[in-house]
Amino acid sequence: MGDYHFVYKDVEGSSTQWDDIQRKLGNLPPKPPAFKPDPFTPAQDQHSKPNWIDHETQEDLEDDPDDRRFLRKIGRQRIAEMKRVAKAAKFGSIIPISGSDFVHEVSQASSDVWVVVVLYKDGYLECGVLMQCLKELATMYPATKFVQIVSTDCIPNYPDRNLPTVLVYSNGAVKASYVGLHKFGRRCTPEGVAMVLCQSDPVLNDGQSGGEDSREVVLGGVRKRFIEKVVTLHENDDNDGSASD
């Protein structure tokens, strides 16, 4: 086995009695002074910026005005979108009203909302047919307000021969009126009623489109749906005929 030599190292700054004797005799150099750390002195400004934060880093930590403007813009757009969706989902069905409700619900409706008013009476077949069509349209176009009112509650002594009657309001004024079921074609369908209502104005609104083009958008959608329904009915008739052979 090899020889191992251990060197004992005492605590730094300390010395043995033998070393002290040798230093007195001049055989060893003077003992170096023991290390003492500088006394702790707190910084004069406790809140001063640390020296590791350079100018560029400080700029990164500060809010960028452009970022703030961008976030505000996104926030405004989000709020506007939420308001538009809320308005679009405001209706979606035919609202029954009374004579005392007419001014508030129709005449004083928001200026950007089209109101379709149907005058009816229970027990009239023509009123029931038109009401079914309007219920479907109210679901399809939830940004348009549909209301129903008993004819004589709206107009005293209104002739029953004029039922059903549809009044279209915008910004508190009557824009169109349709007296009798025949105004909506030989066969009253939701598509036919939609085409009549949008002849001159963008009455129907689904909340997704708006402005001057909304009338054409609605009419285009109505035509497409009408064609799809005709094709479906034709296919069903063919299938029924094949099954009976």
89-126 tens-digit pLDDT: 578 999 999 999 999 999 999 988 999 999 999 999 99
Q: Phi/psi zone of residue 149: left (φ > 0), alpha (ψ -120 to 50 degrees), beta? A: beta
Cα(104)–Cα(235) distance, rounded to whole angstroms?
47
The predicted pLDDT at position 77 comes to: 77
pLDDT at 199: 86
How far is 140 from 144, CA to CA, in rounded Å? 9
Q: What angle do CA 230, 233, 237 make, to 5 degrees?
A: 140
Give the pLDDT band (50/70/90) at residue 4. very low
* Residues 19-66 pLDDT 10s: 777 677 776 677 777 666 667 666 555 555 555 555 555 555 455 666
Please state the CATH superfamily assignment of the domain spanning residues 91-240 in this structure: Glutaredoxin (3.40.30.10)
Sheet (strand 165-170) strand order? 94-96, 145-150, 114-120, 165-170, 173-179
**200 CB neighbour count, 10 Å cutoff:** 10
Report d(CA 28, CA 8) in Å as an integer.
Answer: 18
- pLDDT recorded at residue 8: 44
* pLDDT score of 31: 72
pLDDT at 5 over 50: no
Q: What is the pLDDT of residue 211?
A: 47
The answer on pLDDT for 142 being more than 80 is yes
* Cβ-contact 87, 142 below 8 angstroms: no
With CA atoms as reference, report the closest residue to 192 among 165, 216, 222, 213: 222
For 52-91, give one letter per residue: b (16+ CB within 10 A) or e: eeeeeeeeeeeeeeeeeeeeeeeeeeeeeeeeeeebbeeb
**Percent of the chain whose pLDDT exceeds 90:** 38
Q: Tell me: the pLDDT tens digits for 59-92?
A: 554 556 666 676 777 777 777 766 655 555 578 9
Contact call for residues 169 and 117 (beta carbons, < 8 A): yes
* Digit-coded pLDDT (tens) for 148-181: 999 999 999 999 999 999 999 999 999 999 999 9
Query: Residue 84: its pLDDT value, please?
Result: 59
**Phi, psi values for residue 157, rounded to 5°:** 65, 25
User: What are the boundaries of each domain within the chain?
Assistant: 91-240
Q: Is residue 231 scored above 50 in pLDDT?
A: yes
